[in-house]
Chains A and B, each alone.
Chain A
Amino acid sequence: MGLLAFFRRSQPTANVAKERLRIIVAQERTARGGPDYLPTLRRELMEVIRKYINVDPEAVQINLEKEDGHEVLEFSVALPEKGKA
């Protein structure tokens, strides 16, 4: 690496890439095996929640977990801190 390049060094962003991919890939894998209505369900649930609470779309997680013999639809909403909503 030359002197100039040393001062113009790029940001180490590989960790950010990895973390974002870890989340989105996990989310897309859940949706993949699951029924087609999951995205619509997620959207409609979001609309209902947002009638009452102003939550960020990223704060809503919907997961379909397969455990031996039965499936669990897990839905979690991280509520905003008091005063910010």
Chain B
Amino acid sequence: MTEIIVVTSGKGGVGKTTTSASVACGLARRGKRVAVIDFDIGLRNLDLIMGCERRVVYDFVNVIQGDCTLKQALIKDKRIETLFVLAASQTRDKDALSMEGVRKVFDELIADGFEYIICDSPAGIEKGAHLAMYYADRAIVVVNPEVSSVRDSDRILGLLSSKTQRAEKGEEKVKEHLLLTRYSPRRVATGEMMSVGDVKEILGLDVIGVIPESPDVLSASNAGTPVILNDQSDVSRAYEDAVGRLLGDTLPLRFLEEPKKGFLARMFGG
């Protein structure tokens, strides 16, 4: 049984690729066979976040066009045995991906025994984003607690309920989950930032994870090591929890409150 999960948001820069990489790693670390696919044709980036950019020989479009086999294009992760990356093409041809081509690759992954296919969607609501979500069983909607991100993700929810195969065939609808990123408990406490409850109420979605704002995310992408693999980081723990919930665990949300600081730290900042 294979589950296809799209990581989407509408707005750019909210953490789709960071989330795709970490969720894929988290599932694979639990022994699941996972393929994570970059749908951002022309703007390949998942390879950098995964740290395999120099091992890309063939990409998603090469597979679809028959230039190589899927096996040749799948990049096996060096850290986790059961994790594979399929890079986006750098072509400028926006029509390089097709519905049938994507279906063909998915069918082959399914036949090959992959348990999860993670689709890293491009920003926007154009063709790439549409194809990334079309065959999805589940959607992780990545949102920053900020007005434009929340509004755009609501547009995406509209598309998930009308422009996917499940919607068109009248099947059970795509399971939608909210993942809040760049969450700052301190700014929520001072009323400067919308809380997880606020965003949840506006969008009407169940929350699969809240990822705290942290410098660890930049360090991880600098190094090409998905942030979930940094076991010292709260971000890693928050992503681990999200992966657990994806697999059906019931876990309380963590990191919603600012860590307590000593008196001196409070007086002098830091």
Contacts and interface: CB of A to CB of B under 8 A. Distances in A.
Contacts of A32: 158
A20 B190 CA distance: 19
Contacts of A5: 269
Contacts of B151: 21, 24-25, 28
A14 B147 contact: no
A13 B191 contact: yes
Interface in B118-157: 146-147, 150-151, 154-155
B269 A14 contact: no
Give the residue among A5, A15, A21 with the most B Cβ atoms within 10 A: A21
Interface of B is mostly: helix
A11 to B, nearest CB: 7
Contacts of A10: 187, 190, 192
Contact of B198 (A3, A11, A18): A18
Interface of A: 1-5, 9-15, 17-18, 20-22, 24-25, 28-29, 32
21 contacts: A1-B269, A2-B269, A2-B270, A3-B267, A3-B268, A3-B269, A4-B269, A10-B187, A10-B192, A14-B191, A14-B192, A17-B146, A17-B194, A21-B202, A22-B202, A24-B151, A25-B151, A25-B202, A25-B203, A29-B154, A32-B158
Contacts of A20: 147
A12 B154 contact: no
Contacts of B191: 12-15
Nearest to A26: B202
Contact of A28 (B147, B154, B193): B154
Nearest to B190: A12
Contacts of A28: 151, 154-155, 158
A51 to B, nearest CB: 32
Q: Is the interface of A mostly helix, strand, loop or mixed?
A: helix
A18 B266 contact: no
B186 to A, nearest CB: 8
A28 B203 CA distance: 12
A5 B188 CA distance: 16
Nearest to B162: A32
B195 interface: yes
B190 A2 contact: no
